[in-house]
Every structure is written in C-alpha cells, then in structure tokens.
Amino acid sequence: MTLIHIVYKFLPFKNLFVALIILCSFKHLPKVLKSYYIQNMNHPISSNIMTQNIFGDWSSSNNLKIQQNPFPHVVIDDFLDVEIVNKINNFFPSVDNKWISYIHYNEKKFGLSDPQFIPENILELINELSSKEFCNKLSDIIGIKGLVADPLLEGGGLHQTFRGGFLNIHSDFSVHPRNHNLKRQINLLLYFNKDWLPEYYGELELWDESLEKCHVKIAPQFNRCVIFKTDEKSFHGSPIPLNCPENVSRKSIALYYYTNELKNPVSGYTNYRTRKGDGKNGILIFLDNKLLHVYSFLRNKMDLKDSLVSRFLRIFK
C-alpha cells in the first residue's frame, strides 16, 4: 500500500482530498485536453446592449477594398453604430491596478485582458466580434478561411496609452501562448478617441519588410477600425511618444484571430526592430528585444501570466 493510499484511508474529508488532487494535477493534463479547454471556454456575457445590428453601413456594403501595401490591411470608419459606440465609450474603464503594465524600453502602455474586470457592455461587444458569424465575415474580408477568436484575449483586450507612451515598430508573436495549435493571422484594432488631434500623434504606422520606409500612417480616430494581416513581415507600431494632454489617453480594443493548425506552427515571439534614424537607441531596442524573447520563452514553458510581471513593471509607471 502506497503512502497516498494510507493517507487517503484515514483522511476524514475524502471528497475534498480527491478534488484537491484533481485541481493540482490540472497543469499536468495532456496538452490535447488543455487545448480543448482553452478553445471551448466562453466569456460569461449577457445581451443587454447587443439587441440590434451593431455595425455601421459598411457591413451591408461590398465596397471594402483591401490595401496590399506594405501588407494586407483595411481601414473602416464608422465601424459601429453611433448609439452603440457611444455606449461602449462611456463604459471604457480607467487604468487601475487590474491593468497590465507593458512598460519596457520598446513600449509604454497598459492593457486589460481579464474578462472578469472588463465592463459587461464592452464584453458583449467583444463577444459579438468573437462570434462565428463575425469570424466568417472577417474571413471573407481578408481572404483567410477558418478564423477563430481568442477567448483568453492574450495580449489583446483593452489598451490605453498616456502622454509619453509609445509602441516601437515590431512584428507580432505568431502562435497562441497557451494553445500552440493556433496560428495568429489577423489583428483588429478599434479606436475610442473622441476629438483626437494630429498634434497628439499616436498614428498606427505600417512599415515595409526592410524597415526602410513607413508606407501608411493611420490616425486613431473615434470609431475607426483597422484590420490587418499579421506575420513575421508585418512590421507596425506607434513609435512616436504621445503628446496628448495628461488627462487624455489613446484608447482601443485589440482582438486577435487565429487559424487552428493540424500541426503546431513554428513559434515566433514579438520582434522589435530598429529603423534608420534610431541611432544609438538601436542597441537598446535590440537588447530589450532579446530579453523579451527570454521572458516569452519562460512564459510559454512555465505557463506564466503577464499580470505577474506587470506587478514589478508598475513601479516604473
């Protein structure tokens, strides 16, 4: 008789003991079972706000044109119905200790991806944009079949950047950190910045593969949606520090879409790159990028959460 059998025999709360064993062993479940859990979990969302067509006129039009330079992307103004977008904007939360601090040499912004802290009305919108129907619409727009949303909102969710904040030019991580069968394909960015002025900066910049030239700059205007193909050559960012007033922030919802691959795709981490004109800063961009690769490797292997590291990074806010 093993030690665990002896303990179990004399334990008064046997059901509790079994439950704890099952709970503690969850992280050791085969990857297939864990993958199934991640893929099938849903946000606990009600339907108070989504009782009508939530989209603007574009949804009934066939005039959307995908731009190919420097990589496939489309800009949709008046993305949401006016009433809906104003309701969502009113519920957009302020940054507090529930937000993740993305603060290091290559970026300075805040993110909120835990559904339990996202306001219900915004979760309803995210749920709508994660539905099978919308994923199919997105597949038709961008030309990639079989797109699925990420219920865990890894790296996505709500984003806010304040005065002095920025995001250096980079390509995105290519494989879902928790489900390695999911290959990242599409980014959707939806902006909530009323009365945003050009002198605030904050444009989304799209660069070519050689990082010789910025081909497109997109202002983060209210109710503007940007959808683009993301891979190891899709370099983008918002590298110029914001010049907005202290009481103003650059707000957005970021959602990422994947395809479920039969064979695990090759994993790539977020890759920050230097541009002409970065000068001596290029060395620090390179070193910070390498440190982030080490962190990403450990996070994926040890199932770490960004919120843990955020507690340390927050001291630099």
Per-residue pLDDT, 117: 96
Q: What's the confidence (pLDDT) of residue 265?
A: 79
Q: What is the pLDDT of residue 104?
A: 93
Alpha-carbon gap, residue 83 to 58, rounded angstroms: 16
Q: Residue 228 has which token pair?
A: 């683009």
Q: What is the 3-state secondary structure (H, E, C) of 273-309?
A: CCCCCCCCHHHHHHHHHHHHHHHHHHHHHHCCCHHHH
Contacts of 228 (CB under 8 A, 6+ apart): 71, 72, 73, 74, 186, 187, 206, 234, 236
Structural domains in the chain, CATH included, are 1-40 (no CATH), 49-316 (2.60.120.620)
Beta bridge partners of 191: 252
Give average pLDDT by consecutive 10-residue segment, the chain, 317 residues: 41 39 38 40 43 83 89 97 95 95 95 95 96 95 95 95 98 89 96 97 97 96 98 96 97 97 83 88 90 79 63 50
Burial class of residue 293 in the structure, from the number of CB atoms within 10 Å of its CB (0-12 exposed, 13-18 middle, 19+ buried): middle
User: Residue 162: which of 200, 134, 218, 121 has the closest Cα?
Assistant: 200
Q: What is the pLDDT of residue 311?
A: 57
Backbone angles phi, psi at 159, to 5 degrees: -125, 145
The two tokens of residue 81 are 């119905």
End-to-end alpha-carbon separation of the chain, Å?
A: 56
Maximum alpha-carbon separation in the chain: 75
Q: Phi and psi for 19 in degrees, rounded to 5?
A: -60, -40
pTM above 0.85, yes or no: no
Coil, helix or strand for 46?
A: coil
Helix ranges (H only) for the chain are: 3-10, 14-24, 31-40, 82-91, 120-129, 132-142, 281-302, 306-313
82: its two tokens: 């006016």
* CA dist list (Å): 144 to 141, 152, 298: 8, 21, 31
d(CA 164, CA 245): 10
Helix axes 120-129, 82-91, angle to 10 degrees: 130
Q: Which of 181, 262, 199, 271 is nearest to 235 (CA)?
A: 271
Q: What's the confidence (pLDDT) of residue 306?
A: 64
CA nearest to 243, candidates 277, 199, 299, 300: 199
